[in-house]
Structure 1
Amino acid sequence: MTDIDTILATDFDAYVDNQLDVAGRLRVESYLARHPAEAARVMADLEMRTMLRLALAPQPASGRPETREAARRLSSALAGRRMWAALQRAAAVAVLVSAGWLANSSLGTREVVASVHPPVFVEEAVRAHQTSLVRAGMPSQPEVKTYDREDIRAATAIVMPELPKDWQVADVQIFPSEYGPSVETSIRTRDGTQISLFAVRPGHFAVEQVKNLNLADAEAAWWQLGEVAYAIISSAPNTGLSDEAELLKNSLY
C-alpha cells in the first residue's frame, strides 16, 4: 500500500480549507487523479467554499450586512464534515439568492423565474440551438427530419418526449456533452414558432418541475426527470415556453 492510498477524510477537509503544505496537497491531488468520484466531491466542496468567501468579501453593492453575517456563521459551521455534505446545496442557493447574483448569469439572463440559477445543461442547450440555426442556413449541411424516439434511446440511453402530431421536425442532431451524447431537435410548433428541444444526461438523478427564464436574446424552459434533463429554447425572448415544456414533460410519463 502506497502513501497515496492512506488518504483520510480529514485530509480532504484540510485540502479544501488550504491547510496542507505543498507535499500534502500533492499527495491528495495524486489520490484524486486516480479516484474521479472523490475528485468530483472535493471540487464541489471547493466551489462551495469559494462562493462563501465571495459572499463574505467586502462588496458595497452586493447585499445586506445580515446576509454576509449569515454566510460567516455558515462558513464556520461548514468546518465540520458532517454538516458540510448536508448543507452545501442549500447554502449555495441561499447565499446567491440573498446576494442577488442569480439574475446575472453568464448567459446574459434578464429575469429568472423564482430566482432559480439555470444549470449547466441549459447553456449547452442554448449553444446547440444556436448551432442548429447556423446549420439551417448552410445548403451543404443536410437536415435529418426523422425523429425516431426508439433509435435515439437505443443509441444514447435518452428517452425523448413524444411530440404533438401538428409539430414539424426540421432537424435532429447528436452533440457531445460532459456525460455522454446529447440530442438537439429543431421543431416548428403549430403556431409557427421555431424552437429547439434539447435532452442530455447531466450526471445526477433529480425530479425537477418546469422552470422558465428569459435570456438577452432568447428564452429557455427546462426540467429534469430521473437521469435525463430537458430544455426547449426559442430565439425570441418572451415567447412563453412553459406550456410547451409541460406538454412535452407530461408525454414522458
Structure 2
Amino acid sequence: MAVDPVLEADLVSYVDDRLAPLRRIEVEAHLATRPDEAARIMADLRLRDELRLALVAPEAPGSRELATLARRLQSGLGRRRRLAVLRRCAAVGVFVALGWLAHEGTGPLAVRQSIASSAPPPFVGDALAAHQTSLVRSTMESQVETPRYDPAEIRAATAITMPEAPRGWRVRDVQVFPSPFGPSVEIALADRAGASHSLFGIRPGGFEVTKPQTTVSGPLAAAFWQQGPVAYALVGPAAERDALGDAAERLARSLY
C-alpha cells in the first residue's frame, strides 16, 4: 500500500501530538532514514517539553522570568509553526533562554545531563532476556527454530525495520516477543566461529537518535542504539564487547 509523502505540516503535527497513531508511525519511519531531519524534530520535541515544564514549575529559581518568556514564545510559536523558517527562529530563542537557566544548574537541561549518565535504557534488559531465552530454546528438541529471515515481512507485521545480518553470520532463529509498545523482534545468530549472538529490535515508546553504546551484564555484553522510533541491541559474550560495538556501528549505518 502506498504511503502518502510526509510533508512539513505532518512534522509540525507530529511535534504537536496531533497525528493519528498510523500516521505517526509513517512519520517516524520517514524520520528513521533521515538523521538530519530527525535531529531537527528531536530539537523541537525537546523545546516543546521544556516550554511545558517552565510553564508548570513557577516555584523553580529564575523560572518567573523564563515562564514569562516561555508564554510569549509559546503563543507566537503556534502561529510561527505555519512557516518552517520562522519556527526555527522561535526554537533558537527558546533554546538560548533555557540554556542560560541550565547553566545556573536549575533548568531542565541540567536534568537531561544527569539522565545521559544513567543506566542503560530498559530495552537493553529486554534484549538480554530475549537472548537468554533463545539459548534455552536452542537446547530443546521440542522448540523448532525458524531460521528464515525476511526483514520486509517483519517490518510489515511489526513496524520495525531490521538490518541484514552481519556478513558471514548465520541466522539460527527468528522470534517475535510482546512488549509494552507492540511486538519486538529477536534474531538468534551464530558468528563465523559459531558463537551465539542475537540482534534485538523494539519500539520503546519514544523517539531518539543515539549512537551505539556498549554495556556488560554478567557473562553477556550488549551494544545498543536507537534510530528514531526503533531501538536495537546486539548481544553476545562479554569478552567480545569491543567487537560488538564495532558490529553495531556497521549495522546502524546500514539502516540509513
TM-score interval, normalised by the smaller of the two chains: 0.5 to 0.7
TM-score (norm 2): 0.56
For 1:159 and 1:192, locate their aligned partners in 2 and report how far apart those are by CA, in whole Å: 25
Does structure 2 conserve the Cα–Cα contact (< 8 Å) formed by 1:173 and 1:183?
A: yes
Question: Residue 207 of structure 1: SS of its match in structure 2?
Answer: strand
Identity of aligned residues (%): 45
1 CA distance for matches of 2:61 and 2:129? 39
Would you say 1:209 and 2:184 are equivalent positions?
Answer: no
Structure 1 pair 166–149 and aligned structure 2 pair: CA distance change class (3 A): same
CA distance in 2, matches of 1:121, 1:167: 24
Aligned to 1:250: 253
Report the equivalent of 1:170: 172
1:214–1:238: 8 Å Cα contact kept in structure 2?
no
Structure 1 unmatched ranges of 5 or more? 1-40, 46-74, 98-114
Aligned to 1:197: 199
In 2, the alpha carbon distance for the partners of 1:245 and 1:235 equals 14
TM-score, reference length from structure 1? 0.57
Checking the alignment, whether the CA contact within 8 Å between 2:214 and 2:223 is kept in structure 1 is yes
Structure number having the greater helix percentage: 2
The structural deviation recorded for 1:196 is 0.7
The unaligned stretches of length 5 or more in structure 2 are 1-48, 54-58, 71-97
Which residues in structure 2 correspond to 1:40-119 (within 5 Å)?
Answer: 76-77=60-61, 90-95=109-114, 115=117, 117-119=119-121
Q: How many residues align?
A: 164
Confirm whether residue 232 of structure 1 aligns to residue 224 of structure 2: no
1:135-174 counterparts in 2 under 5 A?
Answer: 135-174=137-176
Instruction: Measure, in 1, the Cα distance between the counterparts of 2:108 and 2:144.
Output: 43
Q: How big is the shift at 1:129?
A: 0.6
In 2, Cα distance between the equivalents of 1:197 and 1:187? 7
| Local SS of the residue matching 1:170 | strand
